[in-house]
C-alpha cells in the first residue's frame, strides 16, 4: 500500500499537539477549527512540494534540503518544540517556519492565509501563526521518511508523486481547493501546483 503523506502528517498532530496549537491561537478557537485549518495548510504546502519534485532538479534540491536541515528529528519532541520549549541550536533552521513559508508562497502568502481564515473562521494572525508552526512539521515528516526508508532523490520523487495523486483525488471534494486554485494561480493556466512548485524551488535552492 502506498504511503499517504497526509495521513503521516495528521498522525503527528495528536491530541496533545493539537491542544497546544489550539491554545496558542487564543480563546474562542476550537480544536475543530484548528484541525480544519491545519488540513488546508498542509494540502497547499504538500501540493507545492510535490509539484516541484516532479522535475529532476526540484527533487534533487529537496533531497539536499532534507539531508541538511530536515531529518525528522523535530518529530521526536514535537509538542515541546511547537510550544516554544527546548528549541536547541540544531533545531533552529528546521523550525524556521517563517522562512520556509516566505520562499514557498512568496507574495501569495497573505492571499492563502485570507482564504484559509475565511474557510475556518479564524483571523489572519491566527492562520499565519499556525502556518509557521506547521511548515517545519511537513518537511520533518518527509525527512523522517527519507531516513527510515533510505530514500534517495528518486525515492523522494516517487513518494511525492504518489502524494500528489492522492491529493488530486481529495481535492474534488474540498471547498478550499477551488478557492485556493483561483487565488494562487499566477499565470492563468489553471495549475496551482505549477505556481507553488516554482516558489518552492526558489526556497530549496537557496
pLDDT tens for each residue of the chain, 206 residues long: 567 888 898 899 886 899 999 999 988 999 999 999 998 898 888 877 887 777 888 888 888 888 988 988 888 888 888 877 666 666 778 888 888 787 667 778 888 899 899 989 999 999 999 999 999 999 999 999 999 999 999 999 888 888 877 766 666 556 566 555 555 555 555 555 555 555 555 555 55
Residue 49, all three cell numbers: 512540494
Report DSSP state, residue 188.
S
Residue 193, all three cell numbers: 501546483
- Give DSSP secondary structure letters for 70-134: -SSGGGGGHHHHHTT-S--HHHHTTT-HHHHHHHHHGGGHHHHHHHHHHHHT--HHHHHHHHHHH
CA dist., res. 104 & res. 172, Å (int): 23
pTM (predicted TM-score): 0.82
Residue 71, all three cell numbers: 531529518
Determine contact, residues 197/48, Cβ cutoff 8 Å: yes
C-alpha dihedral (55, 61, 66, 68), degrees to nearest 10: 170
Amino acid at each position: 500500500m502506498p504511503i499517504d503523506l497526509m495521513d503521516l502528517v495528521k498522525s503527528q498532530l495528536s491530541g496533545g499537539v493539537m491542544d497546544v496549537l489550539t491554545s496558542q491561537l487564543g480563546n474562542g478557537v476550537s480544536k475543530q477549527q484548528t484541525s480544519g485549518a491545519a488540513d488546508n495548510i498542509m494540502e497547499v504546502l504538500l501540493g507545492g512540494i510535490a509539484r516541484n519534485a516532479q522535475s529532476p532538479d526540484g527533487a534533487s534540491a529537496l533531497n539536499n534540503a532534507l539531508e541538511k536541515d530536515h531529518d525528522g528529528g523535530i518529530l521526536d519532541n514535537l509538542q515541546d518544540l511547537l510550544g516554544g520549549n527546548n528549541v536547541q541550536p540544531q533545531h533552529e533552521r528546521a523550525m524556521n517556519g517563517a522562512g520556509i513559508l516566505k520562499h514557498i508562497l512568496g507574495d501569495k502568502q497573505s492571499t492563502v492565509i485570507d482564504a484559509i481564515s475565511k474557510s475556518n473562521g479564524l483571523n489572519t494572525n491566527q492562520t499565519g501563526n499556525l502556518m509557521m508552526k506547521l511548515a517545519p512539521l511537513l518537511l520533518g515528516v518527509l525527512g523522517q521518511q527519507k531516513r527510515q526508508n533510505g530514500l534517495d532523490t528518486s525515492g523522494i520523487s516517487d513518494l511525492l508523486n504518489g502524494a500528489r495523486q492522492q491529493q488530486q483525488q481529495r481535492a474534488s471534494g474540498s471547498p478550499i481547493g477551488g478557492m485556493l486554485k483561483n487565488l494562487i494561480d499566477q499565470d492563468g493556466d489553471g495549475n496551482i501546483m505549477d505556481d507553488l512548485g516554482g516558489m518552492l524551488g526558489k526556497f530549496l535552492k537557496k
